[in-house]
């Protein structure tokens, strides 16, 4: 089920934050999330996993430089849980040198940054409202970093267009570009278009809900993703602690494993660890 994971699974999508130390713009008490989620909490969650978790990619939860520095410090002190960090993209219009936007000072200082995430689910379908997007892609490709894309299903064609313009860039689509929506025809067609771009990948993250019978929906989405992209272009991600509102960490791992179609050992290893190691530079 998990492939040869003697070294352990790599969780490609977790979040940490501390609302007493920085502003997290979207955080509200009624979300039912803790005000602080630190490395010690992550360690406790992954300890429950049915298969060992060797590393976790920490994706910045909000979009300020102070938060980015806090996350990088936590990763440096507690890696590999969390390990590589992916920082948020917040454009700096008018500053041609700031191709990484808000993250540019950290990149310039040599802080380990594995990638930058474009979070655009509230924006234009064609991503035309994202300032500096092509410069961001050029900078990431030139420095061997990953572009993560948090997008809606109807924005996936724009991701394909981006990959066409930047063939040397590794792109990782968060949550299959689907999230908790139904894997309908337009989404399948968009994923089929992404198939033509071999450096576009997708995370099996953020896709579970509490709805009765949801396992069937997730299994249908996972099957399409495996069929169209192939297992070597998919990565497991828990989306913890956001996912904890749906199910405990161990259950998210188990539900993801059940959703996947039967895979050979090499294919399973790609999904659960090897592709994340390659893209994010997980040690070993």
What does the pLDDT read at residue 215? 96
Q: Has residue 26 got a pLDDT over 60?
A: yes
The C-alpha atoms of residue 179 and residue 64 are separated, in whole angstroms, by 24
Q: What is the pLDDT of residue 283?
A: 77
For 207-230, the pLDDT digits (tens) are 999 999 999 999 999 999 999 999
**pLDDT over 70 for what percent of the chain?**
98
CA dihedral sign of residues 99, 122, 151, 24 = positive
pLDDT average, residue stretch 13-37: 94
**Residue of 198, 125, 131 whose CA lies nearest to 163:** 198
Specify the pLDDT at position 2: 74
The predicted pLDDT at position 6 comes to 52
pLDDT-derived band at 7, boundaries 50, 70, 90 = confident
According to the model, what pLDDT value does residue 145 have?
Answer: 98
Q: Enumerate the H helices of 64-112 as residue ranges.
A: 65-78, 104-108
Domain ranges, ordered by start, for the chain: 9-280
DSSP per residue, 167-179: TT-EEEEGGGGTT
Beta bridge partners of 86: 59, 115
The answer to whether 127 and 162 are in contact (CB under 8 A) is: yes
Count CA within 13 A, CB hemisphere, residue 126: 1
The Cα–Cα gap between 41 and 239 comes to: 14
The whole-angstrom distance between residue 71's C-alpha and the CA centroid of its chain comes to 15
Q: Is 180 left (phi over 0), alpha (psi -120 to 50) or beta?
A: alpha
User: What's the whole-number mean pLDDT along residues 82-90?
Assistant: 97
The size of the chain, in residues, is: 284
Residue by residue, DSSP assigns 178-244 as TTTS---HHHHHHHHHHHT-TTEEEEE-S---SSTTHHHHHHHHHHHHHHHH-GGGEEE---BTGGG
pLDDT > 90: what percent of the chain? 94
* Structure confidence at residue 3 (pLDDT): 63
Task: Band the pLDDT of 94: cuts 50, 70, 90.
Answer: confident
Closest CA to 234 of 208, 217, 259, 216: 259
Confidence of residue 232 (pLDDT cuts 50, 70, 90): very high
Write down the pLDDT at residue 241. Answer: 98
pLDDT (0 to 100) of residue 4: 54
Comparing CA positions, the residue from 217, 162, 149 lying closest to residue 193 is 162
Q: What is the CATH number of domain 9-280?
A: 3.20.20.140
State pLDDT tens for residues 234-246: 999 999 999 999 9
d(CA 225, CA 201): 10
Please give the pLDDT value at position 257: 97
> CB count, 10 Å around CB of 61?
23
Nearest alpha-carbon partner for 97 in 107, 84, 110: 107
95-140: pLDDT as tens digits = 989 999 999 999 999 999 999 999 999 999 999 999 999 999 999 9
Mean residue pLDDT of the chain comes to: 96
């Amino acid at each position: 089920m998990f492939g040869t994971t003697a070294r352990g699974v790599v969780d490609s999508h977790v979040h940490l934050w501390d609302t007493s130390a920085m502003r997290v713009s979207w955080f509200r008490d009624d979300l039912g999330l803790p005000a602080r989620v630190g490395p010690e909490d992550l360690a406790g969650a992954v300890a429950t996993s049915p298969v060992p978790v060797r590393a976790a990619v920490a994706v910045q939860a909000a979009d300020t430089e102070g938060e980015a520095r806090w996350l990088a410090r936590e990763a440096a002190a507690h890696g590999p849980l969390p390990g590589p960090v992916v920082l948020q993209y917040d454009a700096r219009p008018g500053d041609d040198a700031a191709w990484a936007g808000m993250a540019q000072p950290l990149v310039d200082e040599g802080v380990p940054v594995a990638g930058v995430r474009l979070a655009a689910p509230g924006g234009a379908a064609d991503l035309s409202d994202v300032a500096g997007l092509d410069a961001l892609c050029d900078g990431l490709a030139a420095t061997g970093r990953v572009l993560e894309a948090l997008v809606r299903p109807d924005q996936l064609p724009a991701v394909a267009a981006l990959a066409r313009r930047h063939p040397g860039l590794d792109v990782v689509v968060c949550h299959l570009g689907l999230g908790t929506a139904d894997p309908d025809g337009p989404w399948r067609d968009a994923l089929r278009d992404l198939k033509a771009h071999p450096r576009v990948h997708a995370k099996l993250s953020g896709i579970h809900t509490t709805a009765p019978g949801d396992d069937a929906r997730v299994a249908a989405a996972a099957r399409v993703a495996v069929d169209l992209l192939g297992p070597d272009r998919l990565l497991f991600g828990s989306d913890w602690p956001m996912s904890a509102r749906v199910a405990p960490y161990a259950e998210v791992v188990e539900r993801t494993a059940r959703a996947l179609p039967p895979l050979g050992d090499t294919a399973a290893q790609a999904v659960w660890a090897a592709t994340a190691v390659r893209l994010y530079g997980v040690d070993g």
